[in-house]
Amino acid sequence: MVRDPISDFIIQLKNGSTAGKESVTVSFSKLKFAIAQTLEKEGYLSTIAKKGKKTKKYLEVTLKYEGKAPRISGVERISRLSQRLYFKVKDIHSVKYGHGATILTTPKGIMTDREARKNNVGGEPLFKIW
């Protein structure tokens, strides 16, 4: 069975925030780290810490809350391992009337839907978060 590390990552973030956890620990990869940095910049995460040595690296991600309500209330994977999708700039739309974000991987790096439209660049949509 083939595992999807991005799906595992975003589901761990959603489940951790729904359960009221302060932080979530996930295995490290450069892609997960770039996604976490983008989510931190957008205000979904508080801090990101890269820990461990050599082959035992992991990310400790601190979740963000507004009062007692979690900042991450839902996620939806768009492009999967079994079905890759690619959006042109005109195909990128806002999520939940601007209250969410689509995270894309583009030739200019990992960015949100707003940044992609601003930079006039398309790419592969990884997931929606709100």
Quote the percentage of the chain above a pLDDT of 90.
93
Quote the percentage of the chain above a pLDDT of 70.
98
Q: Are 126 and 41 in contact (CB under 8 A)?
A: no
Residue 45's CATH number: 3.30.1490.10
Averaged pLDDT score across all residues of the chain: 95
Q: Are 122 and 89 in contact (CB under 8 A)?
A: yes
Q: How many domains does the chain have?
A: 1
Taking only the tens place, the pLDDT of each residue in 18-29 is: 999 999 999 999
pLDDT given for residue 117 in this prediction? 96
Return the higher-pLDDT residue of 1 and 69: 69
Q: Are 57 and 50 in contact (CB under 8 A)?
A: yes
Other CB atoms closer than 10 Å to residue 100's CB: what's the count? 20
Range(s) of the domain holding residue 71: 5-129
pLDDT given for residue 1 in this prediction? 66
**How many angstroms separate the CA atoms of 28 and 41, rounded?**
19
Look up the pTM and report it. Answer: 0.93
Report residue 75's pLDDT band, with 50, 70 and 90 as the boundaries. very high
| Beta strands 75-77; 101-106: pairing state | unpaired
Three-state SS string over 3-14 comes to CCHHHHHHHHHH
Taking only the tens place, the pLDDT of each residue in 13-62 is: 999 999 999 999 999 999 999 999 999 999 999 999 999 998 899 999 99
pLDDT given for residue 54 in this prediction? 85
